[in-house]
Structure 1
Amino acid sequence: MRVFITGANRGLGLELTRQYLERGDQVFAASRQPADAGDLQRLRRQYPERLTLLPLDVTSAESITAAAQAVQAATDGLDVLINNAGVYPHAGSGDAHQRLGQLTHEDAMETMQVNAIGPLLVAQALLPLLRNGSKGRILSISSGQGSLTWKATGDPYHYSASKAAMNMYMRSLAAEIGIYGLISVIVDPGWMRTDMGGDHATQDPADSARGIIRLAEQLHAEENGSFVTWQNQPVPW
């Protein structure tokens, strides 16, 4: 299996990278500053033959193109793309930046670019490689916060809106790529104990990663475009 993971330097992305490597798969792990990602560097020393570290800023067209070219130079196809990179401005700081009265244009634009637009453009750039892969799958990490049905609070405005926007982008993508035998699904990984989720979260990233890897293996064509949890339960739009 050849897997491309964004935001691979910590949290869920790091755990997905570790578990895919432990299974014997080839992993392209992308992050903004791989040279500073100590855990990824340790994994590369452990799995030098199968782990490739790539710099990737999903808000930069040039960076996305360069990452796609680097993968193309190393392999003729990809089997799985996991769009995991995401931001939650001021997460854990106690600041009210995503509450009414404190909303800023800068926070809104950063969140939308990283969480919604970035995953779409990464998928677009890697599409030729996914078409050359074996039953190419795109799993984009969303959140229950992106569900219009479940949304019952104001805060967080930007994060929730960005995940809902990503859901629509990936649903749109699914409608187009199904003819190639490719599958795009949106995944709620649960409330995880990560830098973004905080210490009070209930979910272990290792469990979420394990479920997401299992989900990627078991996807069928009729599930293309679906929004599910890491345990493959439907999430309302």
Structure 2
Amino acid sequence: MRVFITGANRGLGLELTRQYLERGDHVFAASRHPDAATELQQLHQQYSDRLVLVPLDVTDAASIAAAVKTVSDNTDALDVLINNAGVYPHAGSGDAHQRLGQLTHDDAIETMQVNAIGPLLVSQALLPLLRAGRKGRIISISSGQGSLTWKATGDPYHYSASKAALNMYMRSLAAEIGHMGLISVIVDPGWMRTDMGGDHATQEPADSARGIIRLAEQLHAEENGSFVTWQGQPVPW
């Protein structure tokens, strides 16, 4: 299996990278600053034959193009893309930046670019490699916060809106790539103990990663375009 993972330097992305490597798969682990990603560097020392570290800023077109070239220089196909990179401005700071009265244009733009637009453009750029793979799958990490049905609070405005936008982008993508034999699904990974999720979260990234890998393995064409939890249960739009 040849897997491309964004936001691979910490949290869920790092755990996905570790578990795919432990299974014996080849992983392209993308992050903005791989040289500064200590745990990724340690994995690279251990699995240098199967792990390629890829510099990638999902908001930068030149960076995306360079990442695709790096992958193409190392393989002729990908089987799985996991769009995991995401931001939650001021997460854990206790401030009010995503509450009414404190909302800013800059926070909104950054969140939308990283969480929604970036994953779409990365998927578009890697499509030829995924089409050359075995049953190419695109797994995009969303959130229950992106569910319109479940939304019952104001805060967080930007994060919730960006995940709802990601859901629509990936649902749209699914409608087109399904005809190519590819599958796009959106996954709520649960509330995890990560830098973004905080210490009060209810589950470990390792559990979510295990479920997401299993989900990617078992996807069928009729599930294309679906929004599910890491355990495969449907999430309301």
- The TM-score with structure 1 as length reference comes to 1.00
Corresponding residue for 1:46? 46
Alpha-carbon distance, 1:180 to partner: 0.9
Distance across 2 between alignment mates of 1:166 and 1:188: 12
Corresponding residue for 2:5? 5
Paired residues for 1:66-85 under 5 Å: 66-85=66-85
Deviations 1:138-183 (A, max 9, x none): 0000000000000000000000000000000000000000011100
Which runs of structure 1 show a deviation greater than 6 angstroms over 4 or more consecutive aligned residues? Answer: none
Corresponding residue for 2:109? 109
Alpha-carbon distance, 1:21 to partner: 0.1
Distance across 2 between alignment mates of 1:217 and 1:180: 18
Distance across 1 between alignment mates of 2:111 and 2:7: 14
Corresponding residue for 1:194? 194
Distance across 2 between alignment mates of 1:198 and 1:227: 24
Paired residues for 1:158-237 under 5 Å: 158-237=158-237
Distance across 2 between alignment mates of 1:65 and 1:172: 22
Alpha-carbon distance, 1:203 to partner: 1.1
Distance across 1 between alignment mates of 2:72 and 2:142: 27
Secondary structure of 1:175's aligned partner: helix
Alpha-carbon distance, 1:46 to partner: 0.2
Is there any run of 5+ residues in structure 1 with no aligned partner, and where? none
Deviations 1:181-206 (A, max 9, x none): 10000000000000000000001100
Paired residues for 1:122-161 under 5 Å: 122-161=122-161
> How many residues end up aligned between the 2 structures?
237
Distance across 2 between alignment mates of 1:65 and 1:194: 29
- The TM-score with structure 2 as length reference comes to 1.00
Root-mean-square deviation (CA), in Å?
A: 0.2
Is there any run of 5+ residues in structure 2 with no aligned partner, and where? none
Distance across 1 between alignment mates of 2:24 and 2:153: 43
